[in-house]
Amino acid sequence: MEAANHSKNSAMEAENHVKHGTSSMNKGNFLRKTCFALLAAGVIFSANSCKSLDYATLSPKMKNDKLLPPLTPTLDVASLGSVFPITQSVGSGYVGYGTVSVYTSTHTNPVMNDLDVIFQRDISTNICDGLTGTAKGSINCRAVVGKERRPRTWLVISGLTLCIPNLFGMPFGSSTAELQIEVTIFDGNNNIAGRYTSDIHKQKSYMAMYWGYSESDVYRKNARFIFTACMEDIKHQISRDYDRLIRTLQ
C-alpha cells in the first residue's frame, strides 16, 4: 500500500514538473513573440516616420570651368554591383492574431539607377559640353574598391529594450559605405586619352525615426554621397588635364 502511494505521488510530481516546464516554455515563447512583435511594429512604424531622400542629391553641383567635347558615358554596372548589389532584399514584419512573421522582398536595387543618373548628369553638364552632336569618344566609370557594412548592434539593442528608446530617436541600425572609382576617357579610335582615380570616400548614415532614414533609403543616401564625392575628385583631375585632353579628342 505504501509503495503504491509512493508511486502515485512520484507520478503526480512528474506530471506537475512536466506541466510547470510546459508552462515556462509557453511563457518564454510568448515573451519572445511579444518582444519580436514590438520590434517588428517599431521597424514598420519607423519606415513611415523617417526623413525622405533629397532628390537634389541626384544633380551634382560642381562644374568644370572648361568643358570637353561630347563623350558617350558608360557605367560599369558589374564592378559597382560588387559594392552595391544589383538586387536588394528588404525585410518586413507582420503582427496579428497572436502570430509574428517575417518576410523579405527582393527587387532591383535603386542605388544603381541613382549612380547612373548622377554619372550621366555629371558628364553631360559638368564635364562635357552636352551630349548632343557627334561624340568625340567615350568615358567609362568603374569601381576600384568599395564595401558596405550593416552591423546589427542597434537592432539587437532595440529588441532588448522593446523599441522604447527608438520612439525617442535611438537608431534601429546603421550603414557605412566606402567607394573609390576609376574614370577612363577614350578617343574616337578607342585609344585611352586619360585615366583618373578618385580618393576613397566613406559615409555613415543611420536608420532612425524623425532624423534618420528608412532601411531602403539609407543605402541610397550613402551611395549618392560617396559617388558624388568621388566624381568631384575626377572632375578636378580632368580640369587640370584639360589642355592635353582637348588636343587628343579633336
* pLDDT class of 127 with cuts at 50, 70, 90: very high
Q: Which residue has the cell 516546464?
A: 21
**pLDDT tens for each residue of 146-203:** 998 888 888 888 888 888 888 888 988 899 999 999 999 999 999 999 999 999 999 9
**Would you say 139 and 186 are in contact if contact means Cβ atoms under 8 Å apart?**
yes
Note the pLDDT of residue 30: 53
195 beta partners? 184
Note the pLDDT of residue 10: 53
Backbone region of residue 241 per phi and psi (left: phi > 0; alpha: psi in -120 to 50; beta: other values): alpha
Note the pLDDT of residue 157: 87
Q: Is the pLDDT of residue 214 over 80?
A: yes
Note the pLDDT of residue 96: 40
Highest mean pLDDT among 67-71, 92-96, 205-209, 212-216: 67-71
pTM for the structure as a whole: 0.73
User: Comparing 215 with 187, which gets the higher pLDDT?
Assistant: 187
* pLDDT class of 95 with cuts at 50, 70, 90: very low
Helix extents (H) in the chain:
2-47, 77-81, 110-121, 153-160, 215-240, 242-249
Distances (CA, A) of 7 to 10, 11, 17: 5, 6, 15
Separation CA 208–CA 212 (nearest Å): 4
**How many domains are contained in the chain?**
1
**Residue 214 φ then ψ, to 5°:** -75, 170
Note the pLDDT of residue 222: 94
* pLDDT class of 99 with cuts at 50, 70, 90: very low
Range of the domain at 180: 2-249
